[in-house]
Structure 1
Amino acid sequence: MRTELTLADTLNTLGLLGGSTLPRFVTDVGGQGDVLEVVADARSVKGLPGPLKLATKLVPAVRSKLRVEQFDGGVAVLSVDASAGGLPAHKMLGLAKNRIESVLESKGLPAGSVEIRPDARIALDVQRLLAARHPGTVVTGMTFTDGQVALDTAA
């Protein structure tokens, strides 16, 4: 079964977000085709590491383009192309790794279900995240379609 969801609803379904509204630092979500575009005001993100906090003072708006490059065994590998003031912000993604892991832990989600890779990619274990909230659901695919997230599932 294919379900198309907003980014907020997807994050809520996976347990990464409580409620159906995005955090206040996300100022816009859209996209065309298989690219999801997210704009964030990085100054509003709490708990950033020192180097990232300093960078947000200089260039607060971060524009990201995400694309599902691969989906295998319930894991979606997302490429991230982010820029802040024309600078490649995705190269700093690794600095947020500890923050992401602490958020997962605080929400009681499976450790390692979000992996920040050194090549500006994120491995998102959609199956583990969904199974933690909806046991018995099997994720067979994930794509982005014109600013929406499409999840293919089987019971």
Structure 2
Amino acid sequence: MERQNTAFQPSRESGVTSLTLPSQRNLAPLEINQLYQFSVSLICGQDTSPNSVITVYGWVQRVAVSNNVESTLKRFSPKERISVYAKQGLWFDLVSTLADLRACNPSDSALLATWVSVIKATALLKAEAIARESTAQRAIAQQPLLQKCSSP
């Protein structure tokens, strides 16, 4: 098992951001249908004691996309791809594309509504009580995206 560690210096602004492994590490691509576990730890300040570090764990799996879906995606605009990604369960591509579209079109209410739906659908805060969960999910979904627009 190969382990990668990357330090990330967050912005001083509050909001939603993305993390990317540095490209210069020459990492092998993920194997199709292989499960990979990842973790993200939040360390605030100098205190690295276990009680001061927040860590979340998750799993990711690269899946094969059929030729039919691949050709459809090539024909569609990024906005049109969102529904294909959702139907195919391609969550990384869905969230990444949607985040980029929102960064490029921050006042598009339809994109915001889709973003809120995706946040709710992924059940990011499953352990919380339902009422509290809905409030927290809306709060996360309403946060500004800290990434820059990378589409024309």
TM-score by length of 1: 0.25
Quick one: higher RCO (CA 8 Å, sep 6+), 1 or 2? 1
Normalised by the size of structure 2, how large is the TM-score? 0.26
The answer to which structure has the higher strand fraction is: 1
